[in-house]
C-alpha cells in the first residue's frame, strides 16, 4: 500500500452549484406533454415588520419541468397537492416584437426561469372536499 496515495485530503466541493429546493402547493393539475410535465408551484413567505402589527406575505409562482420517468410520476399529482421539488434553476431569454400605441412595433427582451426537476416528493395530498350530508325527509 502506498502511503502517499492514502494521505491525500478529500477534495472540497466546487465553490458553485446549481441546486434548488422549493416546497409549496400546485396551483393547477400538471400539464403533461410529450416526454415532459410542466407544474405550477406556489411558495409563500410571510413576515411581520417590527414597526407594524400587521402580517405581510408574498406568493411566488415557479414553473417546474419534469422529463422522462419523472414526468410520468408527475402525472399522478393534482392541483392543491403539497410537494417538494429538487432540481436546478434554468434561465433563458428571447426577443419578441410587440405592437404598441396603435401600430408602433417594439422589440422587447423576455427573460424566463424554470426549475428542471431531479426529484419530486409528495408532502401531502390535497384534502378531498367534504361530502354533503344526505338527510332523509
Residue 41 sits in a domain whose CATH number is 2.40.50.140
Q: Is residue 23 part of a domain?
A: yes
Averaged confidence pLDDT in the chain: 87
Q: Is residue 134 part of a domain?
A: no
Whether the per-residue pLDDT at 94 is higher than 60: the answer is: yes
**Domains: count for the chain:** 1
Rounded-to-5 percentages of helix, strand, coil across the chain: 5, 55, 40
In contact, 79 and 86? CB cutoff 8 Å: no
Residues 78, 67: Cα–Cα separation, whole Å: 17
Q: Is residue 133 part of a domain?
A: no
C-alpha triplet 21, 13, 114: angle, nearest 5°:
30
Could you report the per-residue pLDDT of 15-72, keeping only the tens digit for each? 788 999 999 999 999 999 989 999 999 999 999 999 999 999 999 999 999 999 999 9
Q: Is residue 131 part of a domain?
A: no
Residues 41, 32: Cα–Cα separation, whole Å: 15
Give pLDDT, residue 135: 56
Q: Is residue 72 part of a domain?
A: yes
Whole-model pTM over 0.75: no
Domain of 40 in residue numbering reads as: 18-124
Inter-CA distances, 8 with 14, 82, 85, 90, 112, Å: 17, 44, 36, 35, 43
Which residue from 46, 83, 47 is spatially nearest to 62, judged by alpha carbons? 83
Q: Is residue 11 part of a domain?
A: no
Q: Is residue 7 part of a domain?
A: no
In which band, very low, low, confident or very high, does the pLDDT at 125 lie, cut at 50, 70 and 90?
A: confident
Amino acid at each position: 500500500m502506498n502511503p502517499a496515495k492514502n494521505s491525500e485530503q478529500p477534495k472540497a466541493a466546487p465553490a458553485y452549484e446549481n441546486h434548488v429546493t422549493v416546497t409549496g402547493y400546485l396551483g393547477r393539475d400538471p400539464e403533461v406533454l410529450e416526454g415532459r410535465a410542466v407544474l405550477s408551484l406556489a411558495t409563500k413567505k410571510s413576515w411581520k415588520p417590527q414597526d407594524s402589527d400587521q402580517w405581510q406575505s408574498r406568493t411566488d409562482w415557479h414553473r417546474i419541468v419534469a422529463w422522462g420517468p419523472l414526468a410520468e410520476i408527475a402525472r399522478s399529482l393534482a392541483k392543491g397537492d403539497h410537494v417538494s421539488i429538487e432540481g436546478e434553476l434554468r434561465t433563458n431569454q428571447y426577443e419578441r416584437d410587440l405592437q404598441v400605441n396603435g401600430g408602433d412595433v417594439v422589440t422587447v427582451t423576455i427573460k424566463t426561469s424554470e426549475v428542471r426537476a431531479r426529484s419530486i416528493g409528495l408532502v401531502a395530498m390535497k384534502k378531498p372536499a367534504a361530502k354533503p350530508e344526505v338527510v332523509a325527509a
